[in-house]
Amino acid sequence: MPHTVPACPQCGLENTYPDGSNYVCPDCAFEWPQTAQAADSDAAEAGDGIVRDANGNPLADGDAVILVKDLKVKGSSSTLKKGTKIKSIRLVDGADGHNVDCKTDLGSMLLKSEFLKKA
* CATH label of the domain that carries residue 75: 2.30.30.40
pLDDT band at 79 (very low <50, low <70, confident <90, very high): very high
Does 72 share its domain with 110? yes
Q: pLDDT for 13-48, tens place per residue? A: 888 888 878 888 888 888 878 765 445 554 444 456
Residue 36: inside a domain:
yes
Q: Any alpha helices (H) in the chain, and if so which ranges?
A: 37-45
CA distances 111 to 2, 33, 74, 114, Å, are 35, 24, 11, 9
Question: Strand, coil or helix: what is 82?
Answer: coil
- The pLDDT of 64-85, averaged and rounded, is 92
Q: pLDDT for 42-61, tens place per residue? A: 444 445 678 899 988 999 99
Does 41 share its domain with 7? yes
For position 46, what pLDDT does the model report?
43
For position 44, what pLDDT does the model report?
47
Report how far residue 102's alpha carbon sits from residue 96's, in angstroms, rounded to the nearest whole number: 16
Which stretch of DSSP H or E encloses residue 66? strand 65-67
- The parent domain of residue 34 ranges over 1-48
Does 44 share its domain with 81? no
Does 114 share its domain with 69? yes
Report how far residue 116's alpha carbon sits from residue 19's, in angstroms, rounded to the nearest whole number: 22
